Chain A
Protein backbone atom coordinates (compact mmCIF):
# COMPACT_ATOMS: atom_id res chain seq x y z
CA UNK A 1 0.00 0.00 0.00
CA UNK A 2 2.84 2.29 0.83
CA UNK A 3 4.00 2.38 -2.76
CA UNK A 4 0.73 3.53 -4.29
CA UNK A 5 0.77 6.82 -6.14
CA UNK A 6 -1.95 8.25 -3.93
CA UNK A 7 0.13 7.53 -0.82
CA UNK A 8 3.21 9.13 -2.33
CA UNK A 9 1.33 12.26 -3.31
CA UNK A 10 -0.33 12.49 0.08
CA UNK A 11 2.99 12.01 1.86
CA UNK A 12 4.74 14.63 -0.26
CA UNK A 13 1.90 17.11 0.26
CA UNK A 14 1.84 16.53 3.99
CA UNK A 15 5.60 16.91 4.27
CA UNK A 16 5.55 20.12 2.25
CA UNK A 17 2.88 21.64 4.46
CA UNK A 18 4.62 20.66 7.69
CA UNK A 19 8.07 21.85 6.60
CA UNK A 20 6.69 24.99 4.99
CA UNK A 21 4.73 25.83 8.15
CA UNK A 22 7.78 25.22 10.31
CA UNK A 23 9.92 27.52 8.20
CA UNK A 24 7.31 30.27 8.16
CA UNK A 25 6.98 30.14 11.93
CA UNK A 26 10.75 30.34 12.34
CA UNK A 27 11.07 33.23 9.91
CA UNK A 28 8.20 35.24 11.38
CA UNK A 29 9.16 34.73 15.00
CA UNK A 30 12.79 35.71 14.45
CA UNK A 31 12.11 38.61 12.11
CA UNK A 32 12.03 41.41 14.70
CA UNK A 33 15.28 40.35 16.26
CA UNK A 34 16.98 39.99 12.91
CA UNK A 35 15.89 43.45 11.84
CA UNK A 36 17.15 44.95 15.08
CA UNK A 37 20.50 43.25 14.58
CA UNK A 38 20.69 44.58 11.04
CA UNK A 39 19.90 48.12 12.20
CA UNK A 40 22.52 48.02 14.94
CA UNK A 41 24.98 46.52 12.52
CA UNK A 42 24.39 49.35 10.04
CA UNK A 43 25.02 51.95 12.72
CA UNK A 44 28.14 50.13 13.77
CA UNK A 45 29.37 50.04 10.19
CA UNK A 46 28.73 53.74 9.65
CA UNK A 47 30.63 54.62 12.82
CA UNK A 48 33.46 52.22 12.11
CA UNK A 49 34.43 54.41 9.15
CA UNK A 50 35.35 57.23 11.53
CA UNK A 51 36.28 55.57 14.79
CA UNK A 52 37.52 52.36 16.33
CA UNK A 53 34.44 50.34 17.22
CA UNK A 54 36.28 47.34 18.63
CA UNK A 55 35.25 46.44 22.14
CA UNK A 56 32.24 48.73 22.22
CA UNK A 57 28.85 47.17 22.68
CA UNK A 58 26.21 47.75 20.05
CA UNK A 59 24.19 49.66 22.59
CA UNK A 60 27.01 52.13 23.26
CA UNK A 61 27.56 52.61 19.57
CA UNK A 62 23.88 53.26 19.08
CA UNK A 63 24.07 56.04 21.67
CA UNK A 64 27.12 57.60 20.04
CA UNK A 65 25.28 57.42 16.75
CA UNK A 66 22.26 59.24 18.12
CA UNK A 67 24.49 61.96 19.54
CA UNK A 68 26.95 62.62 16.78
CA UNK A 69 25.51 61.61 13.44
CA UNK A 70 23.39 64.12 11.54
CA UNK A 71 22.04 62.49 8.43
CA UNK A 72 20.57 63.99 5.29
CA UNK A 73 19.64 62.66 1.88
CA UNK A 74 20.77 64.32 -1.34
CA UNK A 75 20.11 63.71 -5.01
CA UNK A 76 22.57 63.32 -7.86
CA UNK A 77 22.87 67.09 -8.26
CA UNK A 78 23.79 67.51 -4.63
CA UNK A 79 20.47 69.07 -3.59
CA UNK A 80 19.04 68.07 -0.24
CA UNK A 81 15.86 66.00 -0.37
CA UNK A 82 13.81 66.93 2.66
CA UNK A 83 11.31 64.14 3.08
CA UNK A 84 13.58 61.09 2.84
CA UNK A 85 15.19 59.67 5.97
CA UNK A 86 18.81 58.81 5.21
CA UNK A 87 18.80 55.68 7.37
CA UNK A 88 15.85 54.31 5.45
CA UNK A 89 17.44 54.67 2.04
CA UNK A 90 18.25 51.18 0.86
CA UNK A 91 21.52 51.61 -0.97
CA UNK A 92 21.24 48.12 -2.44
CA UNK A 93 17.82 48.79 -3.92
CA UNK A 94 18.88 52.23 -5.15
CA UNK A 95 21.82 50.57 -6.86
CA UNK A 96 19.44 49.10 -9.41
CA UNK A 97 18.22 52.56 -10.48
CA UNK A 98 20.12 54.86 -12.82
CA UNK A 99 22.65 56.97 -10.89
CA UNK A 100 20.71 60.15 -11.72
CA UNK A 101 17.53 58.78 -10.12
CA UNK A 102 18.99 57.53 -6.88
CA UNK A 103 18.74 59.01 -3.41
CA UNK A 104 22.09 59.43 -1.72
CA UNK A 105 22.27 59.32 2.07
CA UNK A 106 24.95 61.40 3.76
CA UNK A 107 25.97 60.90 7.39
CA UNK A 108 27.65 63.91 8.89
CA UNK A 109 29.86 63.13 11.85
CA UNK A 110 29.79 66.10 14.18
CA UNK A 111 32.43 67.19 16.63
CA UNK A 112 31.84 65.95 20.14
CA UNK A 113 32.46 69.36 21.68
CA UNK A 114 30.49 71.42 19.21
CA UNK A 115 27.47 69.67 17.69
CA UNK A 116 27.40 72.22 14.85
CA UNK A 117 30.96 71.67 13.74
CA UNK A 118 31.48 69.12 10.99
CA UNK A 119 34.21 66.60 11.72
CA UNK A 120 33.74 64.15 8.85
CA UNK A 121 31.32 63.22 6.10
CA UNK A 122 30.41 59.57 5.76
CA UNK A 123 28.91 58.27 2.54
CA UNK A 124 27.86 54.74 1.64
CA UNK A 125 29.39 52.90 -1.29
CA UNK A 126 28.08 49.83 -3.05
CA UNK A 127 29.42 47.59 -5.77
CA UNK A 128 30.27 44.11 -6.92
CA UNK A 129 33.20 41.99 -5.79
CA UNK A 130 34.16 38.60 -7.14
CA UNK A 131 31.15 36.52 -6.06
CA UNK A 132 28.52 38.93 -4.92
CA UNK A 133 27.81 42.43 -3.70
CA UNK A 134 30.24 44.41 -1.59
CA UNK A 135 29.47 47.61 0.22
CA UNK A 136 30.80 49.93 2.83
CA UNK A 137 31.18 53.47 4.09
CA UNK A 138 33.82 56.05 3.31
CA UNK A 139 34.53 58.90 5.70
CA UNK A 140 36.17 62.05 4.38
CA UNK A 141 37.78 64.71 6.54
CA UNK A 142 36.09 68.10 6.60
CA UNK A 143 38.25 69.20 3.64
CA UNK A 144 36.26 66.58 1.66
CA UNK A 145 39.32 65.20 -0.04
CA UNK A 146 41.32 63.29 2.57
CA UNK A 147 40.06 59.87 3.56
CA UNK A 148 39.49 59.68 7.29
CA UNK A 149 38.60 56.02 7.22
CA UNK A 150 36.67 53.32 5.44
CA UNK A 151 34.71 50.28 6.43
CA UNK A 152 33.85 47.54 4.00
CA UNK A 153 31.69 44.51 4.12
CA UNK A 154 30.74 41.82 1.68
CA UNK A 155 28.22 39.12 1.07
CA UNK A 156 30.26 36.23 -0.25
CA UNK A 157 33.89 37.06 -0.91
CA UNK A 158 36.37 34.27 -0.30
CA UNK A 159 37.48 34.06 3.35
CA UNK A 160 41.17 34.83 3.71
CA UNK A 161 41.32 36.39 0.24
CA UNK A 162 38.69 38.87 -0.91
CA UNK A 163 36.98 38.80 2.47
CA UNK A 164 40.07 40.57 3.83
CA UNK A 165 38.43 43.86 2.82
CA UNK A 166 36.72 43.64 6.21
CA UNK A 167 40.08 43.48 8.04
CA UNK A 168 41.08 46.67 9.79
CA UNK A 169 44.61 46.12 8.50
CA UNK A 170 43.39 46.56 4.91
CA UNK A 171 41.02 49.39 5.76
CA UNK A 172 43.70 51.36 7.57
CA UNK A 173 45.65 51.58 4.33
CA UNK A 174 43.08 54.06 3.07
CA UNK A 175 43.57 56.52 5.90
CA UNK A 176 45.13 59.82 4.89
CA UNK A 177 44.92 59.08 1.16
CA UNK A 178 43.43 61.66 -1.18
CA UNK A 179 40.49 61.12 -3.48
CA UNK A 180 41.65 63.88 -5.86
CA UNK A 181 44.83 63.63 -7.89
CA UNK A 182 47.33 66.45 -8.35
CA UNK A 183 45.35 68.05 -11.19
CA UNK A 184 42.30 68.20 -8.95
CA UNK A 185 40.39 65.45 -10.71
CA UNK A 186 38.40 62.95 -8.65
CA UNK A 187 40.16 59.62 -9.06
CA UNK A 188 39.28 58.03 -5.70
CA UNK A 189 41.79 55.72 -4.02
CA UNK A 190 42.92 52.68 -5.96
CA UNK A 191 44.19 49.36 -4.75
CA UNK A 192 47.24 48.18 -6.64
CA UNK A 193 47.54 44.66 -7.98
CA UNK A 194 49.33 42.32 -5.61
CA UNK A 195 50.73 42.97 -2.19
CA UNK A 196 54.02 44.47 -0.98
CA UNK A 197 54.26 46.99 -3.78
CA UNK A 198 57.18 49.40 -3.69
CA UNK A 199 56.66 52.56 -1.69
CA UNK A 200 56.80 54.93 -4.69
CA UNK A 201 53.77 53.20 -6.22
CA UNK A 202 51.76 53.83 -3.09
CA UNK A 203 51.28 57.55 -3.69
CA UNK A 204 48.44 59.70 -2.41
CA UNK A 205 45.87 57.97 -4.62
CA UNK A 206 47.09 54.37 -4.39
CA UNK A 207 47.33 51.74 -1.69
CA UNK A 208 48.71 48.23 -1.50
CA UNK A 209 46.42 45.53 -2.86
CA UNK A 210 45.48 42.10 -1.55
CA UNK A 211 47.36 39.18 -3.06
CA UNK A 212 45.05 36.54 -4.43
CA UNK A 213 42.09 38.89 -4.51
CA UNK A 214 42.63 41.08 -7.54
CA UNK A 215 39.02 40.92 -8.72
CA UNK A 216 37.65 41.87 -5.31
CA UNK A 217 40.21 44.69 -5.30
CA UNK A 218 39.01 45.89 -8.69
CA UNK A 219 35.45 45.77 -7.40
CA UNK A 220 36.41 47.94 -4.46
CA UNK A 221 38.18 50.39 -6.76
CA UNK A 222 35.18 50.72 -9.07
CA UNK A 223 32.82 51.03 -6.14
CA UNK A 224 34.78 53.90 -4.61
CA UNK A 225 35.29 55.71 -7.89
CA UNK A 226 31.63 55.42 -8.88
CA UNK A 227 30.11 56.48 -5.62
CA UNK A 228 32.48 59.31 -4.86
CA UNK A 229 31.72 60.62 -8.35
CA UNK A 230 27.99 60.44 -7.63
CA UNK A 231 28.53 62.50 -4.51
CA UNK A 232 30.87 64.97 -6.17
CA UNK A 233 28.27 67.65 -6.79
CA UNK A 234 27.14 67.46 -3.18
CA UNK A 235 30.74 67.78 -2.01
CA UNK A 236 31.14 70.83 -4.23
CA UNK A 237 28.04 72.48 -2.82
CA UNK A 238 29.15 71.66 0.71
CA UNK A 239 32.58 73.14 0.02
CA UNK A 240 30.93 76.25 -1.40
CA UNK A 241 28.93 76.90 1.75
CA UNK A 242 31.78 76.22 4.14
CA UNK A 243 34.55 77.89 2.13
CA UNK A 244 34.20 81.11 4.10
CA UNK A 245 35.30 79.45 7.29
CA UNK A 246 37.93 77.09 5.88
CA UNK A 247 39.58 79.36 3.32
Chain B
Protein backbone atom coordinates (compact mmCIF):
# COMPACT_ATOMS: atom_id res chain seq x y z
CA UNK B 1 0.00 0.00 0.00
CA UNK B 2 3.00 2.30 -0.16
CA UNK B 3 3.01 2.82 -3.90
CA UNK B 4 0.80 5.85 -4.12
CA UNK B 5 1.00 8.78 -6.48
CA UNK B 6 3.54 11.40 -5.65
CA UNK B 7 2.25 13.88 -3.21
CA UNK B 8 0.75 16.92 -4.80
CA UNK B 9 2.33 20.23 -4.03
CA UNK B 10 0.45 22.35 -1.61
CA UNK B 11 -1.02 25.19 -3.63
CA UNK B 12 -1.83 27.62 -0.90
CA UNK B 13 -0.78 27.86 2.64
CA UNK B 14 -4.26 27.61 4.10
CA UNK B 15 -6.01 24.98 1.96
CA UNK B 16 -4.93 21.41 2.47
CA UNK B 17 -3.86 19.37 -0.54
CA UNK B 18 -6.42 17.05 -2.09
CA UNK B 19 -4.34 14.09 -1.00
CA UNK B 20 -2.24 15.41 1.83
CA UNK B 21 -0.28 13.14 4.08
CA UNK B 22 -3.02 13.20 6.69
CA UNK B 23 -5.64 12.32 4.12
CA UNK B 24 -3.56 9.50 2.70
CA UNK B 25 -3.39 8.09 6.17
CA UNK B 26 -7.18 8.25 6.40
CA UNK B 27 -7.31 5.92 3.42
CA UNK B 28 -4.35 3.71 4.17
CA UNK B 29 -4.84 3.14 7.89
CA UNK B 30 -7.94 0.96 7.56
CA UNK B 31 -6.18 -1.12 4.92
CA UNK B 32 -3.56 -2.37 7.31
CA UNK B 33 -2.81 -0.97 10.77
CA UNK B 34 -6.41 -0.18 11.62
CA UNK B 35 -8.21 -2.74 9.49
CA UNK B 36 -11.90 -3.00 10.39
CA UNK B 37 -11.91 -6.80 10.28
CA UNK B 38 -8.48 -7.95 11.34
CA UNK B 39 -7.69 -5.27 13.92
CA UNK B 40 -11.00 -3.82 15.05
CA UNK B 41 -12.69 -7.21 14.53
CA UNK B 42 -15.90 -5.64 13.20
CA UNK B 43 -18.12 -6.91 10.43
CA UNK B 44 -17.17 -10.52 11.14
CA UNK B 45 -20.75 -11.65 10.72
CA UNK B 46 -20.99 -10.70 7.05
CA UNK B 47 -17.41 -11.78 6.45
CA UNK B 48 -18.46 -15.27 7.49
CA UNK B 49 -21.74 -15.28 5.64
CA UNK B 50 -21.02 -14.09 2.11
CA UNK B 51 -17.55 -15.44 1.53
CA UNK B 52 -18.36 -18.94 0.28
CA UNK B 53 -17.94 -17.77 -3.32
CA UNK B 54 -16.00 -14.89 -4.86
CA UNK B 55 -18.81 -13.46 -6.96
CA UNK B 56 -21.25 -12.61 -4.15
CA UNK B 57 -18.30 -11.45 -2.06
CA UNK B 58 -17.28 -9.03 -4.79
CA UNK B 59 -20.79 -7.63 -5.10
CA UNK B 60 -21.03 -7.40 -1.34
CA UNK B 61 -17.78 -5.44 -1.19
CA UNK B 62 -19.05 -2.97 -3.78
CA UNK B 63 -22.42 -2.64 -2.05
CA UNK B 64 -20.74 -2.01 1.30
CA UNK B 65 -18.47 0.55 -0.33
CA UNK B 66 -21.44 2.40 -1.80
CA UNK B 67 -23.31 2.42 1.49
CA UNK B 68 -20.34 3.36 3.64
CA UNK B 69 -19.15 6.21 1.39
CA UNK B 70 -22.57 7.77 0.93
CA UNK B 71 -23.70 7.36 4.52
CA UNK B 72 -20.40 8.87 5.68
CA UNK B 73 -20.97 11.78 3.30
CA UNK B 74 -24.59 12.37 4.30
CA UNK B 75 -23.96 12.11 8.02
CA UNK B 76 -20.91 14.33 7.74
CA UNK B 77 -22.88 17.00 5.88
CA UNK B 78 -25.64 16.84 8.47
CA UNK B 79 -23.34 16.40 11.45
CA UNK B 80 -23.96 19.83 12.94
CA UNK B 81 -27.71 19.60 12.48
CA UNK B 82 -28.20 16.10 13.89
CA UNK B 83 -29.51 16.27 17.46
CA UNK B 84 -27.12 14.37 19.73
CA UNK B 85 -29.85 12.46 21.48
CA UNK B 86 -31.24 10.78 18.37
CA UNK B 87 -28.04 10.53 16.35
CA UNK B 88 -27.90 6.72 16.33
CA UNK B 89 -31.39 6.35 14.89
CA UNK B 90 -30.63 9.06 12.32
CA UNK B 91 -27.51 7.16 11.26
CA UNK B 92 -29.49 3.95 11.13
CA UNK B 93 -32.20 5.58 9.01
CA UNK B 94 -29.67 6.85 6.49
CA UNK B 95 -27.84 3.51 6.31
CA UNK B 96 -31.07 1.52 6.00
CA UNK B 97 -32.37 3.74 3.20
CA UNK B 98 -29.14 3.43 1.24
CA UNK B 99 -29.17 -0.33 1.66
CA UNK B 100 -32.73 -0.56 0.33
CA UNK B 101 -31.71 1.56 -2.67
CA UNK B 102 -28.81 -0.83 -3.39
CA UNK B 103 -31.12 -3.81 -3.05
CA UNK B 104 -33.71 -2.34 -5.42
CA UNK B 105 -31.13 -1.38 -8.03
CA UNK B 106 -29.60 -4.85 -7.94
CA UNK B 107 -33.02 -6.40 -8.41
CA UNK B 108 -33.68 -4.23 -11.44
CA UNK B 109 -30.33 -4.34 -13.20
CA UNK B 110 -28.37 -7.32 -11.88
CA UNK B 111 -31.15 -9.77 -11.17
CA UNK B 112 -28.97 -12.87 -11.23
CA UNK B 113 -26.51 -11.38 -8.78
CA UNK B 114 -29.24 -10.12 -6.51
CA UNK B 115 -30.57 -13.66 -6.28
CA UNK B 116 -27.24 -14.75 -4.86
CA UNK B 117 -26.56 -11.88 -2.47
CA UNK B 118 -30.16 -10.82 -1.84
CA UNK B 119 -30.42 -11.74 1.81
CA UNK B 120 -27.02 -10.41 2.69
CA UNK B 121 -27.55 -7.00 1.12
CA UNK B 122 -30.27 -6.38 3.71
CA UNK B 123 -27.80 -7.37 6.38
CA UNK B 124 -25.44 -4.55 5.41
CA UNK B 125 -27.60 -2.46 7.73
CA UNK B 126 -26.27 -4.41 10.65
CA UNK B 127 -22.66 -4.29 9.50
CA UNK B 128 -20.93 -2.71 12.48
CA UNK B 129 -18.20 -1.24 10.31
CA UNK B 130 -20.64 1.23 8.81
CA UNK B 131 -22.23 2.36 12.05
CA UNK B 132 -18.77 2.40 13.59
CA UNK B 133 -17.38 4.76 10.96
CA UNK B 134 -20.40 7.06 11.15
CA UNK B 135 -20.17 7.34 14.90
CA UNK B 136 -16.39 7.51 15.15
CA UNK B 137 -15.54 9.56 12.09
CA UNK B 138 -18.33 11.15 10.08
CA UNK B 139 -19.96 12.78 13.11
CA UNK B 140 -16.82 14.79 13.74
CA UNK B 141 -15.15 15.37 10.38
CA UNK B 142 -15.69 17.28 7.17
CA UNK B 143 -17.48 15.68 4.19
CA UNK B 144 -14.43 15.19 1.98
CA UNK B 145 -12.42 13.53 4.72
CA UNK B 146 -15.41 11.35 5.54
CA UNK B 147 -15.62 10.16 1.94
CA UNK B 148 -11.94 9.22 2.04
CA UNK B 149 -12.49 7.45 5.33
CA UNK B 150 -15.41 5.58 3.78
CA UNK B 151 -13.29 4.40 0.87
CA UNK B 152 -10.47 3.40 3.20
CA UNK B 153 -12.70 1.34 5.45
CA UNK B 154 -14.52 -0.21 2.51
CA UNK B 155 -11.25 -1.26 0.86
CA UNK B 156 -9.99 -2.57 4.18
CA UNK B 157 -13.13 -4.66 4.46
CA UNK B 158 -13.03 -5.68 0.81
CA UNK B 159 -9.52 -7.09 0.65
CA UNK B 160 -10.01 -9.25 3.71
CA UNK B 161 -13.30 -10.76 2.60
CA UNK B 162 -11.96 -11.27 -0.94
CA UNK B 163 -8.96 -13.18 0.42
CA UNK B 164 -11.24 -15.29 2.59
CA UNK B 165 -13.56 -15.93 -0.35
CA UNK B 166 -10.61 -16.80 -2.59
CA UNK B 167 -9.47 -19.61 -0.30
CA UNK B 168 -12.98 -20.77 0.53
CA UNK B 169 -14.09 -21.04 -3.09
CA UNK B 170 -10.80 -22.53 -4.24
CA UNK B 171 -10.66 -25.21 -1.57
CA UNK B 172 -14.37 -25.65 -0.97
CA UNK B 173 -15.72 -25.67 -4.51
CA UNK B 174 -12.53 -26.04 -6.56
CA UNK B 175 -13.34 -22.90 -8.54
CA UNK B 176 -12.72 -19.17 -8.76
CA UNK B 177 -15.57 -16.89 -9.86
CA UNK B 178 -17.37 -20.17 -10.73
CA UNK B 179 -14.54 -21.11 -13.10
CA UNK B 180 -13.37 -24.63 -12.34
CA UNK B 181 -9.64 -24.03 -12.08
CA UNK B 182 -8.60 -27.52 -11.14
CA UNK B 183 -10.48 -29.09 -14.06
CA UNK B 184 -8.92 -26.51 -16.34
CA UNK B 185 -5.42 -27.66 -15.40
CA UNK B 186 -6.41 -31.28 -15.77
CA UNK B 187 -6.99 -32.22 -12.14
CA UNK B 188 -10.48 -33.63 -12.46
CA UNK B 189 -11.10 -35.25 -9.09
CA UNK B 190 -9.85 -32.44 -6.88
CA UNK B 191 -11.08 -33.31 -3.38
CA UNK B 192 -13.20 -30.31 -2.38
CA UNK B 193 -13.26 -29.52 1.30
CA UNK B 194 -16.77 -29.33 2.74
CA UNK B 195 -15.50 -27.47 5.79
CA UNK B 196 -14.57 -24.52 3.61
CA UNK B 197 -18.09 -24.07 2.28
CA UNK B 198 -19.47 -23.85 5.80
CA UNK B 199 -19.02 -20.76 8.00
CA UNK B 200 -16.54 -22.69 10.12
CA UNK B 201 -14.13 -22.56 7.20
CA UNK B 202 -14.44 -18.79 7.14
CA UNK B 203 -13.59 -18.63 10.83
CA UNK B 204 -10.41 -20.58 10.19
CA UNK B 205 -9.34 -18.47 7.22
CA UNK B 206 -10.11 -15.18 8.98
CA UNK B 207 -8.24 -16.43 12.00
CA UNK B 208 -5.20 -17.17 9.88
CA UNK B 209 -5.43 -13.78 8.13
CA UNK B 210 -5.62 -11.99 11.50
CA UNK B 211 -2.73 -14.05 12.82
CA UNK B 212 -0.49 -13.32 9.84
CA UNK B 213 -1.33 -9.64 9.88
CA UNK B 214 -0.76 -9.16 13.60
CA UNK B 215 2.45 -11.12 13.45
CA UNK B 216 3.63 -8.83 10.66
CA UNK B 217 2.54 -5.61 12.39
CA UNK B 218 3.38 -6.66 15.90
CA UNK B 219 -0.07 -5.55 17.04
CA UNK B 220 -1.02 -6.74 20.51
CA UNK B 221 -4.34 -6.23 22.23
CA UNK B 222 -4.07 -4.76 25.70
CA UNK B 223 -6.65 -5.82 28.17
Contact = CB atoms under 8 A, between A and B. Distances in A.
B52 interface: yes
Contacts of A27: 104
Contacts, number: 73
A160 B116 contact: no
A153 B115 contact: yes
A12 B86 contact: yes
B82 interface: yes
A211 interface: yes
A156 B111 CA distance: 15
Contacts of A211: 194
Interface string A20-36: 00110011001001100
Question: What does DSSP make chain A's interface, helix, strand, loop or mixed?
Answer: helix
Interface string B91-125: 00110010011001101110100011011000000
A160 B85 contact: no
A223 B18 CA distance: 59
B94 A19 contact: yes
Interface residues of B, number: 33
Given A3-B83, A26-B100, A34 B119 contact: no
Interface of A: 2-3, 7-8, 11-12, 15-16, 19, 22-23, 26-27, 30, 33-34, 37-38, 41, 153, 155-156, 159-161, 211-212
Given A27-B104, A34-B108, A211-B194, 14 more contacts: A3-B84, A8-B86, A11-B81, A16-B93, A19-B93, A19-B97, A22-B101, A23-B101, A30-B104, A155-B118, A156-B118, A159-B50, A159-B53, A212-B198
A-B pairs, 5 with minimum CB distance: A160-B197, A160-B52, A37-B111, A30-B108, A33-B108
17 contacts: A2-B83, A7-B83, A11-B82, A15-B93, A19-B94, A19-B97, A22-B97, A22-B101, A23-B97, A23-B101, A33-B109, A34-B104, A38-B111, A156-B118, A159-B50, A159-B53, A160-B53
